[in-house]
A and B are shown apart, each in its own frame.
Chain A
Amino acid sequence: MMALEAVSTLDDAALVERCRSGDGQAWRELVSRYSRYVYAICIQAFRLPREEAEDTFQDVFARAYERLDGLRDGSALRPWLAQLTRRTCIDHLRAAARGGAPAEMPDAGEVDRNLMRIDEAVAVHQAMDELSGDCREILDRFFCRDESYREISDVLGIPAGTIASRISRCLSKLRDAYLGRSEPREPS
C-alpha cells in the first residue's frame, strides 16, 4: 500500500521510468491513472459497444506494456496512449468488418473533435485535485457513476435533501478551479 501511495505522486515521466524498471506497483498506477481516458476514447470517440470497448481496452494496455520501451519521452505518455488507443480502436473496427460484423468506421474529423473534448475533460478532472475529498467524491458519484441522490446519501452519510445544493456548490468550485479563478480551498 505504501508503494502504491508513493507511485501515485509521481509525474508521468517518473512513472514510466519505474514501469520500465519492472515496478509492478508503478504499472498498476499507470493503468489506474489512464483507465478512464483510454476507456473514454473507446466509448466516446469511437463509440464502441461496451463489450468491444472492454476488449479494446485490454489490447491497448497489453500493447502499452509491450511497447513502453519505445516511448522516448515519458512525459508524453498521454498523447502516446491516445494514439495507441486510436490505432487499436481502428484495428478492432477493421477486424470486426473483416469478420462480417456491422462495424462503422467513424469519421476522422469527428474522432479528432471527440478526442479534443476528452482532453478537455481530463483538464476538468485534474482541476478536481484542487477540491476537497468530499467534493471530489460527490461530483464523481453523481456525474461519472450516475448514482442517485439516495445512493450518494446512503454511501456518504449526507442527508439526501442537501445533495443537490452540495453538488451545485462543488460544481462552482470545480468551474473556478478549471477556469483558473482560484478560491480558498474548502476544508476537507
Chain B
Amino acid sequence: MSDMNGSEHERVAELLSLLRPAPECAVRAAQEMPLLAATVDQLVERAQADDAFRRSLIADLEATLTAEGHELNRFTLGRLRERLADL
C-alpha cells in the first residue's frame, strides 16, 4: 500500500467513524413521535371537555398521566405543558 493510499485510507476511516449510531432508545422514541403527538391531541381534547381532568392535569401532570396508564416521556410532558398553558 502506498503512502498516498494509506493516508486516504486513514481519512476515509476517520470520516466513517464520525457517523456513529445514535442510542437505540432515542431513535425509537423519535420514531414514535406521530403516536405521541396523537396522544397529546387526545388528552388536550379530553381536558377541554372535562374540567376535573383538566384541573388534575394542571395540578400534577405526571401523577395524572401515570394514574391513567400513560408512559411518561419528554415529548408528551413538554407538549402537554405547552398546550395546557393555552387552555
Contacts and interface: CB of A to CB of B under 8 A. Distances in A.
Nearest to A51: B23
A46 to B, nearest CB: 14
In terms of DSSP, what is the predominant structure of the interface of chain B? helix
Interface in B1-56: 1, 5, 8-9, 12-13, 15-23, 25-27, 29-31, 33-35, 37
Contacts of B22: 35-36, 38-39, 54, 57
A28 interface: yes
A35 B9 contact: no
Interface string A61-80: 11001100000000000000
Contact of B20 (A31, A55, A144): A144
Nearest to A139: B16
A40 B18 contact: yes
Given A62-B75, A171-B12, A28 B31 contact: yes
B19 A122 contact: yes
B16 A58 contact: no
A44 interface: yes
A28 B36 CA distance: 13
B16 A125 contact: yes
Contact of A121 (B15, B27, B37, B74): B15
A132 interface: no
A145 B20 contact: yes
A71 to B, nearest CB: 16
A119 to B, nearest CB: 10
Nearest to B30: A61
B48 to A, nearest CB: 20
A112 B35 CA distance: 35
A143 B21 contact: no
Contacts of B27: 31-32, 35
A66 B18 CA distance: 28
B69 interface: no
A40 B20 CA distance: 7
Given A37-B19, A58-B74, A175 B31 contact: no
Interface of B: 1, 5, 8-9, 12-13, 15-23, 25-27, 29-31, 33-35, 37, 74-75, 78-79
Given A58-B26, A61-B30, A124-B12, 6 more contacts: A31-B33, A36-B21, A40-B20, A54-B23, A57-B30, A117-B18
